[in-house]
């Protein structure tokens, strides 16, 4: 039997590891169900304060995986969440490579819906990346995404837990303003959503530094190969290097995405069917679907099931129902019939159909008067011609896109097993001197892997 925590949570098996703690599958003896339990491993005050901040977050939304309860036992603490077994977007892309645009739109809509709820509470996530976007094991049914891991999230106006010259987040998913030391804000999360969208559509992690440089030098480029133009306009607005040129809110981005979905071509009958498998694995010996098969020592004797007397092992039921319970119906692909033009069998529109949205909540910030704009309303660099299809290909960002159903890049074992997170603190980069194009390219490649400490002030 597993270790019992605070007389209530029986740890079953480890299923992942985050920046400050290990994640376990656990049995909740009070609520009689399996949960995910994040156990703090570090004992320093800094890690404990982050842990307390994360467990204090309470956001009830179908696409947010926030802490539900917490417990302390001697010098150990944990908090619990719903157990989500379908793996992350890293697993999905590792299994299928580039995903169909309609499927990506469904995932992006759910992500933006959850992010709007998070931002509505005044919270900046600061670590949106494929590994933190989990999926329910829905098989071939409608996917269900959950935004998770609020370990470095913070409310607007809260004091930082890191030095002012440190950047917190995951390399490759940081917005340009984050790398410059700006205060955390909602547009930084939206930039990361754009990177996630490109990752799903291309099947490989985009090179954020090359992408930002391309946008800054050439303006918004045409849609990369394989990405429909309406969808690209939404993604490109999320990826603008200037925060004021992005969507102002996650809700505004979601409205624009809904309008873009109506313009996508219908999926063909031969399109690959995406299936989301259970990635957690079978229960270990001694545990069954209804909990541990034997009562472990240290479990509180207070009965929580009115049909169960005190002292009855949790794996048995003295008065089972006369007839087996009816299993819940398989969730339908469509929650509600979509209005307006259909967007293809099996793939619902991510939001209410309609004309492209207008207004301050659904459009990027306005450009200064007299500034030439691109197709998405983004200021173009003065004196530079618009980018052409010849200098913009998927390989510009992340290498050649792989066909659907192939492994475009091998998922690292650390990410598949849920090992150590890439999230961390990084020193702000020093100002880069102007050099030759060759030296600038080499410096950009080196900076993509690690952020160097700042040069001392004279």
CA dist., res. 51 & res. 48, Å (int): 5
- On whether residue 319 sits in a domain, the answer given is no
- On whether residue 321 sits in a domain, the answer given is no
Q: Are residues 258 and 376 in the same domain?
A: yes
- On whether residue 41 sits in a domain, the answer given is yes
First-to-last CA distance in the chain? 61
Q: Are residues 67 and 166 in the same domain?
A: no
Q: Are residues 12 and 63 in the same domain?
A: yes
- On whether residue 235 sits in a domain, the answer given is yes
Residue for token pair 């229960």:
283
pLDDT in tens, 359-372: 344 444 443 444 44
Q: Are residues 199 and 223 in the same domain?
A: yes
Q: Are residues 33 and 163 in the same domain?
A: no
What's the mean per-residue pLDDT of the chain?
73
Q: pTM (2 decimals)?
A: 0.68
- On whether residue 199 sits in a domain, the answer given is yes
Residue 139's pLDDT band (cuts 50, 70, 90): very high
For residue 78, the domain's CATH number is 3.30.200.20
Q: What is the pLDDT of residue 327?
A: 46
Q: Are residues 217 and 261 in the same domain?
A: yes
- On whether residue 298 sits in a domain, the answer given is no
For residue 104, the domain's CATH number is 1.10.510.10
pLDDT in tens, 214-271: 999 999 999 999 999 999 999 999 999 999 999 999 999 999 999 999 999 888 777 8
Q: Are residues 51 and 147 in the same domain?
A: no
Q: Are residues 38 and 153 in the same domain?
A: no
Quote the number of domains for the chain: 2
Does 127 qualify as catalytic in the annotation? Answer: yes
CA angle 224/228/230 to nearest 5° reads: 115
Q: Are residues 140 and 172 in the same domain?
A: yes
Q: What's the rounded mean pLDDT across residues 33-53? A: 73
Catalytic hit among 127, 149, 189, 207: 127
Q: Are residues 192 and 263 in the same domain?
A: yes
CA distances 21 to 18, 32, 258, 288, 312, Å, are: 5, 24, 37, 26, 33
Q: What is the pLDDT of residue 166?
A: 65
- On whether residue 336 sits in a domain, the answer given is no
Q: Are residues 138 and 224 in the same domain?
A: yes
Residue with the bigger pLDDT between 385 and 66: it is 66
Residue 171's pLDDT band (cuts 50, 70, 90): confident
The range of the structural domain enclosing residue 46 comes to 4-85+280-292
Q: Are residues 60 and 28 in the same domain?
A: yes
Say which residues have a Cβ less than 8 Å from residue 161's Cβ, sequence separation at least 6.
46, 49, 50, 53, 154
CA angle 11/12/15 to nearest 5° reads: 100
- On whether residue 162 sits in a domain, the answer given is yes
């Amino acid at each position: 039997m597993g270790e019992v925590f605070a007389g209530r949570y029986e740890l079953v098996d480890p299923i992942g590891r985050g920046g400050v703690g290990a994640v376990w599958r656990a049995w909740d003896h009070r609520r009689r169900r399996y949960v995910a339990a994040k156990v703090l491993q570090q004992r320093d005050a800094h890690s404990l304060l982050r842990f307390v901040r994360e467990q204090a977050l309470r956001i009830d939304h179908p696409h947010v995986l926030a802490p539900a309860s917490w417990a302390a036992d001697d010098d150990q603490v944990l908090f619990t969440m719903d157990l989500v077994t379908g793996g992350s977007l890293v697993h999905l892309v590792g299994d299928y490579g580039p995903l169909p645009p309609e499927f990506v739109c469904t995932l992006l809509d759910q992500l933006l819906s959850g992010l709007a709820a998070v931002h509505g509470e005044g919270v900046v996530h600061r670590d949106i990346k494929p590994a933190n976007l989990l999926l329910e094991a829905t098989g071939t049914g409608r996917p269900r995404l959950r935004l998770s891991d609020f370990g470095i999230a913070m409310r607007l106006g809260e004091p930082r837990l890191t030095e002012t010259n440190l950047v917190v987040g995951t390399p490759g998913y940081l917005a340009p303003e984050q790398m410059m030391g700006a205060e955390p804000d909602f547009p930084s999360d939206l930039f990361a959503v754009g990177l996630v969208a490109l990752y799903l559509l291309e099947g490989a992690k985009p090179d954020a530094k090359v992408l930002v440089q391309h946008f800054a030098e050439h303006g918004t480029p045409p849609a990369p190969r394989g990405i429909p133009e309406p969808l690209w306009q939404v993604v490109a607005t999320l990826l603008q290097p200037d925060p004021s040129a992005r969507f102002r809110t996650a809700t505004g981005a979601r409205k624009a995405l809904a309008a873009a979905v109506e313009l996508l071509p219908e999926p063909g009958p031969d399109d690959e069917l995406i299936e989301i498998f259970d990635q957690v694995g079978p229960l270990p010996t001694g545990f069954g679907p209804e909990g541990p098969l034997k009562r472990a020592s240290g479990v509180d004797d207070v009965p929580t099931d009115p049909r169960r007397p005190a002292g009855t092992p949790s794996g048995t039921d003295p008065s089972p129902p006369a007839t087996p319970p009816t299993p819940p119906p398989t969730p339908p692909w469509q929650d509600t019939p979509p209005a307006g033009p259909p967007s293809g069998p099996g793939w619902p529109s991510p939001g209410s159909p309609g004309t492209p949205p207008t207004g301050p909540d659904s459009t990027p910030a306005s450009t200064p008067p007299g500034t030439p704009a691109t197709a998405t309303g983004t200021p173009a660099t003065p004196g530079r011609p618009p980018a052409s299809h010849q200098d913009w290909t998927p390989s510009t960002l992340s290498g050649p896109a792989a066909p659907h159903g192939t492994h475009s890049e091998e998922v690292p074992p650390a990410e598949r097993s849920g090992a150590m997170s890439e999230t961390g603190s990084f020193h702000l980069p020093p100002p880069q001197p102007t050099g030759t194009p060759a030296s600038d390219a080499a410096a950009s490649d080196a900076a993509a892997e690690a952020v160097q400490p700042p040069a001392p002030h004279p």
